[in-house]
Each structure stands twice: as C-alpha cells, then as structure tokens.
Structure 1
C-alpha cells in the first residue's frame, strides 16, 4: 500500500506517519499519553472501562456476595457462558451450530499463549488500543512507519472473523473488570498497588526510550499488551535479557488463579497493559 507523495511528505513533516507518536481515544477517562507513561505507573489510578460494569450490574451484584475467590470464579464463568453462548450445547447440536465458530475470551487467551503474534494476539492488541488508547508497537515485526506491510498485517488480523466476533471486545471488557475486582476483593497477588514481575526478552535495544541497558536501569516502551511472569526463573527462559518491573495492579488483565483454566498458568504468566516502564535489566542472568 502506498500514499500519494505529497500526502506522504505531509505525514512525515507532522510526525503522523510515526506510530510512536500515535495515541487513540479511549474509554477509561485518562488521556492515553498519561496512561502509557512511566509517571502513571509510579502513581496509578483505578481504571474503569465506561459502561462495562453498568451493562452487567447483575453480575457484579452477585460477585459482591461471594465469600471466596473460587465462588466468584464459578459465577463469572457461568455468566459468560450464558450471556455469550459459550457453553457447549447439550445433546447433539444442529449442523449449522456445529459449523459456527463463536469467539470466546478463553479461546483468545489460549491463542495468545500459543503465539502472541498470531491473529488472537492481534485481536487482543486491538482491544487494548480501542479501550485504553495504547497503540501497539509490535506484531510479527516492529510497527513503525505507516503504512507498511507489518501494519497491514496487523490491521487485517485484528479484525479476523475467527476471533473477532461474538462481541469479543465486550467479553474482554468484563474479563478486565473481573480481574480488577478479584485483585482488590481477594488480593490474588497480595496487598499493595504494585506487583513485582519479570519478563524475558531478546529485543531490548529498540525498546529503550530513556537511560541505557548498560546502566541496568532504563525506561522501555513495551507493547500495548505484554506478558510478564511471577517467576524470575520462568522469565529467564524467554530471552537473554531479564527485565524486572513494578507493575501497577490497575494495568493487569490476567493473573494466575483468576480463571479456572490451565491456560497460561504453567508459565505463571501475567498479562498487563503496556506503555513506558522503568525496569531493571540484566543480561544472561
């Protein structure tokens, strides 16, 4: 895909062809440049996706009556099955029902766990872009100057019908709100506003936006959805560089123990919103 030379020159002059300067509108009431900044991570504020809890007020009324995390998990998963038709049909389904693929948050998370740069990953990154205004920086390749083949691939995959149907964004809205509710109600990862997490990486230099890797402490721009691990040893299996960060709870989407599923739990994986993070970096440790 190419643009007229005059328009391309205008984009370059204004910086609009550089996605590193892009931010989208969002549904959380906090400007995206602030939400994606290291300053927000140091002084986080609670995030609420507009309309998500109000549209499912009955769900959260039931959750407020729960006395344990296990009871809350059961109610949430049953609600999602009923509202989005995720339960397997009893008996023998009609042929049309068998052929129809219903996207679900569980299938999406499983797809992310297998390959964060496949279609499921694009849909999840597109959701974060839509809800929080954070533009992705990587999908199969760096998402740099627009337009480019990498951008075209991302734009195509984030709307793929295999994962992007059955109100998948609304499903992810409820997953995020449920995660936040569980973190504060049952303190799944302990008390406090931040969680110490680790990330293994092989491509660090291009992500540094402040400081230097040689200084061990630097600011890195991570993708708009990013995987961390609760375990330093596990994170070390995913790259030569080991990054340590204090991640705000308000940016967490999925944590071990949130759902009654084995998806992602084997790696103690945590999914978080990205942006600029101050990290401690070590090589080959």
Structure 2
C-alpha cells in the first residue's frame, strides 16, 4: 500500500485524554519547558478521604503506609487468611487480582512484557500519548507489532481489578508527595534533572544530532530514567541528560519504600519529545 502522508504514524495521532491538556501539547518540548499542573479527572474528587488523611501524615513513610492500606481495602489486594481462603471457591482462590505493585514489579523485570503493555495503555488512556515502542517499533497501523501490543495491554492477567483506577491513584499520590516534599524543603522546582542510557538513540532523534550534544529525541509514552549519570550509563553507550517536568512523574524512588524500582534508583515518567544533552559514555 502506498502512503501519501504520515498521518497513520503513531506520533501523528492525537487521542483524547482525562487531563485537560491536548496530547499534542503534552508531548511537546514547549510543554516540557513550561509545564502546567495535570490532574486525572475525577480521581481526587472520588477519593478525597484518602488525600485528607495523607495531609495529616507526619512524613512520607507514614503517608506510604496510609496509601498502601487504602488501596488494599479499596481494591481487595490483601492476601486472604487461611480461614477466608477455605470459604472461597477454587476459582476465586486462583483468580489473579491485578495490582499497581505487580505492574511496577513487572515493569522492573521487562518493560516490554505484558505489565509494560498495561502501563503504556494506561498512559494512552489517561494522557492521550500513544506508545512508539513495545518489543519493537510501533510504526504504521495496523501491523503485527501493534497486534501484539494490543493483545498484551488487554490481557486479563494484568488488566483487571480496576487497574486503571489504581494507577490513577498512584499518579495522583505521586504528585501529592512531590508537592509535599517541596513544601517541606521550601522549593518550587518544576523539573527533575534525570538521565537515560540507551544504545538506540539515533532512531529517536527528531531534531539535531547526537554528536552535537544538544538535540531533540522522541521517547516512548512511558519511560524509565535514572537519578544519576553513572546509573544511566549502565543501560547504554549514549547517556541523555533530561529536564523532566515534575507533573510528568509517575514513580520516584522515595515514593514507595521497599518497592522494586527503588533499588534501581529508577524514575518512571511520561514521554514525548524532549530536548536533551547527549554524552557518549
């Protein structure tokens, strides 16, 4: 089939979202330079009791315990006691209850696995940012690569138990925690200085050249960053220094003590087009 333009390429798609900022704007370098607050419609309003409780917490550790306890009760994430399991049917005992924690653990093991597909699908649904990579580049639609992604993001093993609503709360809690840290520190920064290591940067460049150090790259709709250049260099020969808007952050290490991502000093954030400083490690 011949194509007269590239409107069927994912980065040209402008999906609706729940944050009130057009996806085209949200993915742009202009938004990254001048970010505005983002809120997933209805999430705070549906769980005001949780956030009022969080406001009374003494520190992030106590807030974390409150958050985990609330989601455990709200979404039935607690492992049943022995006597409770006996009262359940065999099918109920075997039922996999998806949780935000299992998704993050799955992402930590393989961001291109089924858990990664669900997370990318959540970003697509809530922020309108279409993924550009899952196992392989997601180019023209339809294609075998897109079929695999669509199947994995809809598979019931991870995509059940109101998983999108759980992730809505995780993002909203993350933004609450970042504001709390800034209030305590007396700062008002809009960006986090982060790094990303990769061996596939050339195909992500949309303006400039890596060899000139300053360029613009198009990142996937959800990406991992490192807190230091040294950590990022473990993941590729090219290291990209990025100023990531705080409003695009989903998970940062201090947010969830003991979480699998913390050991890797990994930050999960929304992607799009970023102006970067590139260094060859």
Give the equivalent residue in structure 2 for 1:89.
80
Cα shift readout 1:165-212 (whole Å, capped 9, x = no counterpart):
000000000000000000011249974111110111010111101111
Q: Quick one: structure 1 residues 189 and 148, their matched pair in 2 at CA, closer, same or farther if it must change by over 3 Å?
A: farther
In structure 1, C-alpha distance between the alignment counterparts of 2:261 and 2:184, rounded to whole Å: 16
In structure 2, C-alpha distance between the alignment counterparts of 1:17 and 1:253, rounded to whole Å: 28
Give the equivalent residue in structure 2 for 1:214.
211
Give the equivalent residue in structure 2 for 1:239.
236
Deviation above 6 Å: which 4+ runs of structure 1?
none
Give the equivalent residue in structure 2 for 1:46.
37
Aligned-partner SS, 2:35: coil
**Structure 2 residue aligned with 1:136, among 127, 131, 148?**
131
Q: 1:17·1:147 contact (CA, 8 Å) conserved in 2?
A: no
- May I ask how many residue pairs the two structures share in their alignment? 275
Structural RMSD (CA): 1.5
Which structure 2 segments of 5+ residues have no match? none
**Structure 2 residue aligned with 1:163, among 158, 164, 168?**
158
Give the TM-score normalised by structure 2.
0.94
Give the equivalent residue in structure 2 for 1:203.
200
Give the TM-score normalised by structure 1.
0.93
In structure 1, C-alpha distance between the alignment counterparts of 2:142 and 2:66, rounded to whole Å: 44
Cα shift readout 1:137-158 (whole Å, capped 9, x = no counterpart):
0000000111111111111111
State yes or no: 1:259 paired with 2:256: yes
**Structure 1 residue aligned with 2:145, among 139, 150, 155?**
150
The farther-off stretch of 46-55 and 65-74 is 65-74
**Structure 1 residue aligned with 2:122, among 118, 124, 127?**
127
The farther-off stretch of 29-38 and 84-93 is 84-93
Q: 1:68·1:186 contact (CA, 8 Å) conserved in 2?
A: no
